[in-house]
Structure 1
Amino acid sequence: MYVLVRQAGGGDLVVEPRDEAGASLQPPRRLSLDEFRTFVAARESWALEGRPRWVWDDTGHTYPLLLSAGIRVERCHDLRLCHVILKNSALTQLSELALAAPDRWDAASAVTADQIELRATLFEFDVDDDHGGDDLADHAADGTGDSGATEPGPDSRAPESTSGREFRRQLDAVASAAEPGRLRLLLAAESAGALVAAEMRFAGLPWRTDVHNHLLTRELGPRALPGVRPDRLELLAQRIRLELDDDALNPDSPQELFKALQRAGLAVTSTRGWELKKLEHPVIEPLLQYKKLSRLLSANGWTWMESWVVNGRFHPDYVPGGVVTGRWATRGGGALQLPRQIRGAVVADDGWKLVVADAAQLEPRILAALAQDERMATAGRGTDLYAGIVASGVVETRDHAKVAMLGAMYGATTGESGRLLPRLARAYPRAIALTELAARAGERGEVVTTRLGRSSPVPGQGWHEVQAQAYDLAATATDERRARSQARDWGRFTRNFIVQGSAAEWALCWMAEIRRELAALPASGAGATSALRRADAGPGLAASAARPAAPGRARAPFDYAPHLVFFLHDEVIVHTLAAQAEVVAKIIVTAAETAGRLLFGDFPVDFMLTVATVDNYAQAK
């Protein structure tokens, strides 16, 4: 059974039980915040009868109201995230939802194809504060016993809410799809990810500011006054000025630096690090060091630490589905780009451990499974996939295997990658053919779809205009070259979309399984940390994270149970009591196997993990 939840005036919430078809089972009930918390806590305790799936507009807005009272939910359905998937999926294009005129559900995440920047890291963009969450298990509840609910108010006599109509449209879209099972799993996984994101933000990543300060001082020198460079940066700046014979140069100014490099006779087109590495000049070594340390200071320096680390916890704002392929983004804090220099500041609490796991060669393994290429899957069975490719005699070195595989997935056709790709195509024709077909589809302006049903956006109007111009009778050679270049760019996008998007789906299923299994572990009070440490849970969160909301809830759930605290595309960290670290590691490994079966059935592909139980994050790398 579902329970639809929507916001009402004055901080109240309206709840309405609904059946599997989305039809109302009982009149809506308007609850105060405290009544809502009691209502949810009671139903989440119904282990025998089955817990409901909570349906709400935005997990990121609603779920923290429960977490701040020590209440976790097993599963939910996020209307906004699911709307984006169903609106754009090729599997639902004939549904009422897909054919409807744009409405408020589209406005929050409207991003045109012309706004997507084509680059190797693939299309990251910010969205509104709308997340989603839903566990993969399928449970039901009978909806009786509305303890704490007020009598039906005016809401129960009003026309159906926009949330209710949207929910029914989504259920209808899935039911009418050619392969509804794929979409059901995708919506569940996407929503489960949003629950994880909200919980990780609330619980926070354990962080030692004293260690962070020590690491910054070691890398940069003592903290300087505002507007003054730390010692090591200033020394590097002086070396750069000396080598470029420019006493007034500000190396933080790209414009000044660009002109100074050209005056020194260096043929540069930008000041990006990857271009500078190609040059030979005495200034290059100190300049690259300066750029690296300057980035550390600006992105994760003392100001960042004071802004984002609260009471020993880093509370990043994850954005599930924030990338068009389904990958996550962050709205603040840069959790997806924590540099190695400061990972030692991520330290487990006393009596606790960090279990760090990352999936080895995830995207190539996903490609093998998508293409059902058994030879490629065999190369990675029980071993490093790139080493397996070398052992199969396809290329000479592991670096060659990696370069060739990245070229296949990202469309690199020149240099070393272009030279090696034909060997890869001969050895693994099904896998390489899949990427080539996706690329050709993109070049024609068509969409491609991931394993579970997320489809790529169509090119924008500007792209189509350029293509049309190339076929005009008056088209010039320049018009034709421009059209071919843009078509190839979009082909590179669709080539990788199916791989990166399917890998994101695997990662969501992996996290959902980890979360479910961790929640099933028996609670332990041994070594539990003080709930007062979460008294201020960080920017935008409730101030009393450990305040009990229901009988028996003495402290915030993350103070005494293992829980996910970090996620980076193919890597997770679980913070756990030391006594449970071994079982947590097994849960993570088993969850990876389960995620593989959910997406690819019995196809024999290994999703290998590197798992380390450590006291601080730096020890895992």
Structure 2
Amino acid sequence: MHIVLARVDGGLTATPLTDAGTSDGEPVRLTESGLPAFVAAHEGPGVRWVWSDTARWYPAVLAAGGRVARCVDLRLGHRLLRTALATRGSALAQAPLSAWDAAVALEARPAPATQASLFDDDLFTVAPADDDLDPVVELRAQLDAVAGASEPGALRLLLAAESAGALVAAEIKYAGLPWRTDVHERLLADALGPRVPYGVRPRKLEELAAVLRQRLDDPDLNPDSPADVLRSLRRAGLVVDSTRKWELERLEHPAIEPLLEYKRLYRLLTANGWTWLDEWVQDGRFHPEYVVGGVVTGRWAANGGGALQLPKQVRGAVVADPGWELVVADAAQLEPRVLAAMSGDTDMAAAGDGQDLYDGVVASGAVQTRQQAKMAMLGAMYGATQGEGGRFVPRLARAFPRALDLVEQAARAGGTGRTRDDPARSDVAGAGAVVVRGAEPGVLRGRHPPRCSGPSSPGPAAGDGSHGTSWCRARRPSGRCPGWAACAPDWPRGATGPSRPGRTWSSSCTTNSWCTHRPRTPSGWPSRSGPRRSTPGGSCSVASRSLSR
């Protein structure tokens, strides 16, 4: 059954519906404070909680010690069904834009607890706003769209995965990642020198700045300013267009080595230095705020904190609590493996068959190092035209023409603003479609959503791959995946743990990797529920979720 939560007239309503969306009882009136108890009383294996946005509803349940197994995130589902080829003829896809189509509003981060607040009395607490639209009506529209889709089963699985991802993101934010402040400070001191006040250059950066000024004969050089550095390099007779790492590495001059080291340490200071530590780590926990589907490609984003890419210099501060262990899952080279399968590029599939795909690209002779292979591959897929990624893309295209041809076709489709009524693609389902060369006739591989561009907003010129590629969404290919062995050579088919028979453990489909912090169990398999503690030494665990309907 579904239980639809809504904020109406300053309070809450919980409306029970069947799996088909029909009424299954009278709506129940609740208060905000009574929500966690209501959820705890009605949570069960057959229940899906339906709400407008998981990030708005779930934190209150988590804060009260509760947890739900399944939900329907209407905002995420609406966006998927709006742009899915399988639902292009549905009433939901053809309806005018509404509040469901609006970009997610990111909440401002609260001030750290150490900062005094002028008014902290409950009198000044603002109640959550009422919902703009009726979630019951939206749920029924989504159920109708899925029921009339050409591939309803695949869509249900995708919607369940996206909503499960929203639950995971909220749980990660609430539980936090164990973070040793003392270790972080020691790592910073080793790299930068003793801590200094904000705005003061640390000792090692100051020493490197002095070396740069001497070697470039520029006593007034400000190495924090790219424009200043560029002018100084040119005065030294170097032909350079930017201060990017890949361009500096090609130059021969005594100032280049200390300049690259300065840039590396400066990045550490500004991205994950003492200011970051003070703002983002509280009570031994880093609480990242992930935004599910926050990127136009459907990938996750982060609301500050650099949570999507913590640098190696500070990862040593992530230390499991006593009696706990960190379990890391990484779907290695996920995007290029999917590209190999979608394009039918057997050479690229072979490059990743049972090994690191980037190492396979190096073995093919396309590039010389694994780092170059990674930059080239991701640069090709995400539209890089300059920098290190853009520089190696032509080599990749020569080694794997079918894969790169698919990317180019998708970029051209998005770049020229094709929409679902594009007569150029009337022979296949949907607009902006891309048919893979060498694939079976009529097999649809991808399209860009109509919001990308249209008659009133023409897309970028043909050949500008960055916009088209970023806006292209992929559809599940039909038939057997020709590169499946390369896509997941080591993936355990239906792997289950002894303490959870029948449960398949997997990473989210929207990120490449994630990490769970779990208590050890005698069987060696993570238990679903561990001790929930609010003390700095505790953690609310984040588990993989069943996507069964």
Q: TM-score range by the shorter chain?
A: 0.7 to 0.9
> Structure 1 counterpart of 2:30, which letter?
L
1:169 aligns with 2:141: yes
Give the C-alpha shift of residue 432 in structure 1. Answer: 5.1
Q: Determine the C-alpha separation between the residues in 1 that align with 2:217 and 2:369.
A: 43
Q: Which residue of 2 aligns with 1:86?
A: 81
Residues 120-131 of structure 1 mapped to structure 2, 5 A cutoff: 128=106
Give the C-alpha shift of residue 424 in structure 1. Answer: 2.8
Contact 1:565 1:575 in 2 (8 A): no
Contact 1:182 1:452 in 2 (8 A): no
Q: Which residue of 2 aligns with 1:310?
A: 282
Residues 417-456 of structure 1 mapped to structure 2, 5 A cutoff: 417-419=393-395, 421-425=397-401, 429=402, 431=403, 434-446=406-418, 447=432, 455-456=448-449
> Structure 2 counterpart of 1:51, which letter?
G
> Structure 1 counterpart of 2:75, which letter?
R
Pick from 492, 508, 520 the counterpart of residue 578 of structure 1.
520
C-alpha distance after superposition, 1:298-347 (max 9, x if no partner): 11111111111111100011111111111111102111121110000000
Pick from 222, 234, 239 the counterpart of residue 250 of structure 1.
222
Q: Which residue of 2 aligns with 1:472?
A: none
> Structure 2 counterpart of 1:583, which letter?
W
Give the C-alpha shift of residue 249 in structure 1. Answer: 2.0
Q: Which residue of 1 aligns with 2:67?
A: 72
Q: Determine the C-alpha separation between the residues in 1 that align with 2:288 and 2:379.
A: 33
SS at match of 2:277: helix
Q: RCO (CA 8 Å, sep 6+): is it higher in 1 or 2? A: 1
Q: CA RMSD in A?
A: 4.2
Higher mean C-alpha deviation, range 450-459 or range 295-304:
450-459
Q: Which residue of 1 aligns with 2:187?
A: 215
Q: Which residue of 1 aligns with 2:233?
A: 261
**Unaligned 5+ runs, structure 2:** 109-131, 419-431, 436-443, 478-483, 485-491, 528-543
Q: Which residue of 1 aligns with 2:3?
A: 3
1:385 aligns with 2:357: yes
SS at match of 1:335: coil
Contact 2:294 2:300 in 1 (8 A): yes
Q: Compared with structure 1, are the counterparts of its residues 256 and 86 closer, same or farther at alpha carbon in structure 2 (3 Å cutoff)?
A: same
Give the C-alpha shift of residue 380 in structure 1. Answer: 3.4
Q: Determine the C-alpha separation between the residues in 1 that align with 2:273 and 2:342.
A: 42
Give the C-alpha shift of residue 89 in structure 1. Answer: 2.7
Residues 348-367 of structure 1 mapped to structure 2, 5 A cutoff: 348-367=320-339
SS at match of 1:30: strand
Give the C-alpha shift of residue 438 in structure 1. Answer: 2.6
SS at match of 1:337: coil
Q: Determine the C-alpha separation between the residues in 1 that align with 2:352 and 2:247.
A: 34
C-alpha distance after superposition, 1:271-299 (max 9, x if no partner): 33333223222222111111111111111
For normalisation by structure 1, the TM-score amounts to: 0.66
Equivalent residues, number: 468
C-alpha distance after superposition, 1:403-429 (max 9, x if no partner): 77557645679865424533434xxx5
Q: Which residue of 1 aligns with 2:54?
A: 59
Q: Determine the C-alpha separation between the residues in 2 that align with 1:518 and 1:62.
A: 31
Give the C-alpha shift of residue 35 in structure 1. Answer: 3.2
Q: Determine the C-alpha separation between the residues in 1 that align with 2:163 and 2:272.
A: 30
> Structure 2 counterpart of 1:234, which letter?
E
Give the C-alpha shift of residue 465 in structure 1. Answer: 5.2
Contact 1:89 1:455 in 2 (8 A): no
Q: Determine the C-alpha separation between the residues in 2 that align with 1:395 and 1:275.
A: 20
**Unaligned 5+ runs, structure 1:** 110-126, 131-159, 468-482, 507-512, 523-562, 586-590, 599-621
C-alpha distance after superposition, 1:14-62 (max 9, x if no partner): 1000122323222211112343222211222x4xxx3310000111111
Q: Determine the C-alpha separation between the residues in 1 that align with 2:391 and 2:273.
A: 38
Higher mean C-alpha deviation, range 442-451 or range 195-204:
442-451
Q: Determine the C-alpha separation between the residues in 1 that align with 2:360 and 2:61.
A: 48
Q: Compared with structure 1, are the counterparts of its residues 457 and 217 closer, same or farther at alpha carbon in structure 2 (3 Å cutoff)?
A: farther
C-alpha distance after superposition, 1:445-495 (max 9, x if no partner): 33459999885455446996587xxxxxxxxxxxxxxx4454x44454467
SS at match of 2:516: strand
1:33 aligns with 2:32: yes
Q: Which residue of 2 aligns with 1:43?
A: 42
Contact 1:85 1:454 in 2 (8 A): no
Q: Determine the C-alpha separation between the residues in 2 that align with 1:438 and 1:578.
A: 46
Give the C-alpha shift of residue 499 in structure 1. Answer: 9.6
Q: Which residue of 1 aligns with 2:310?
A: 338
SS at match of 2:34: helix
SS at match of 1:332: coil
Q: Which has the higher helix share?
A: 1
Contact 2:326 2:516 in 1 (8 A): yes
